[in-house]
Structure 1
Amino acid sequence: MQAHLSARPRVTVAAIIEQAGRFLLVEEHTQDGLRLNQPAGHLEIGESPQQAVIREALEETGRAFTPSGLVGVYLSRTRRDSQDVSYLRLAFCGEVSEADVERKLDEGIVRTLWMDADAIRASAHRHRSPLVLRCVEDYLSGQRYPLHLVATDPGVYA
């Protein structure tokens, strides 16, 4: 007997941002309490995944993000309110500007913080998703794909 799965995965994007051996994360309020995540969020109607990750990084960190590559595409599943929910995550790496201190961060974001890989590994129990660490490990292993691998049909913008 097959378990009831969500009808379709929710598409999310994440920004993997590393500077001098530290990664930019956000601490955010979730249904499960305070959790750590990469700057990440849902793909919205009328935008490409690259546009979505630029928007999400700005909203959650106050920093302009410039994607340089795709780290990976990940499918995960979790249980939410007695329902299975699947997520398809596109993780992009890139660079960020300095923070705009005047910009208010997205609702639910408590703060941004820079953590090295060991601190991220040690805080796995606080991650919003197991994909937080998986994306960091894939980035550290050198996994990168060109941005043109993710193509958006012009009809998306119509």
Structure 2
Amino acid sequence: MSHIWKPSVTVAAIIEQDGRFLLIEEETSEGLRLNQPAGHLDPHESLAEAVVREVLEETAHDFTPEALVGMYLSRFRSPRSGEDVTYLRFAFCGRLGVQHQRALDHGIVRVLWMTREEIAACPERHRSPLLLACVDDYLAGRRAALDLLHTHPSVFEGGV
């Protein structure tokens, strides 16, 4: 049987207000880490739907994606578990909406706002090596229209 390599598709939200970026602090197998609100693409959803869902689950806020900041490829090799995963990340920027009274996703310790300098000062706490790259691309003005992304209707077939 042949092995087919598949990267893990993730989404992330770059949310900035007054020079600070919305991050989450979460428990991971590597300890307490910082990241943008981010997570895996689930079956039967578009990339934009995934980032809206992830922001709600991890921050209890609505999110409206306005642009694609970038697409990123990275590899994670855990020194503890030996896990070896390649991630394909789609990072979106947009507007933060209403905050809801709901529990945050399992493992999320808190939501916090940090400046670019504060984020850069603690790379050992970053869950993803892409955290700062996404912030820097956002600050550089990198944006692509959301209509660049197309989700074929077959993705939604058999959905829940």
- The aligned amino acid for 2:82 is S
Identity of aligned residues (%): 59
Q: Which residue of 2 aligns with 1:20?
A: 18
Residues 11-50 of structure 1 aligned to structure 2 (within 5 Å): 11-50=9-48
Q: Which moved more, 1:117-126 or 1:44-53?
A: 117-126
User: Could you tell me which of 69, 83, 91 is aligned with 1:71?
Assistant: 69
1:68-88 deviation per Cα after TM superposition (whole angstroms, max 9, x unaligned): 000000000011332421000
Q: Which residue of 2 aligns with 1:62?
A: 60
TM-score by length of 2: 0.92
Q: Which runs of 5+ in 1 are unaligned?
A: none
Q: CA deviation at 1:97?
A: 1.5
Query: Quick one: structure 1 residues 21 and 47, their matched pair in 2 at CA, closer, same or farther if it must change by over 3 Å?
Result: same
Q: CA deviation at 1:6?
A: 8.2
1:97 and 1:26 map into 2 onto residues whose CA distance is 16
Q: Which residue of 1 aligns with 2:133?
A: 134
Q: Which residue of 2 aligns with 1:148?
A: 147
1:6 and 1:71 map into 2 onto residues whose CA distance is 29
2:143 and 2:108 map into 1 onto residues whose CA distance is 28
Number of aligned residue pairs: give it: 153
Deviating beyond 3 angstroms after TM superposition, the runs of 4 or more aligned structure 1 residues are none
- The aligned amino acid for 1:138 is D
Contact 1:6 1:86 in 2 (8 A): no
Q: Which runs of 5+ in 2 are unaligned?
A: none
Q: CA deviation at 1:7?
A: 1.7
TM-score by length of 1: 0.93
1:116 and 1:145 map into 2 onto residues whose CA distance is 23
- The aligned amino acid for 2:102 is R
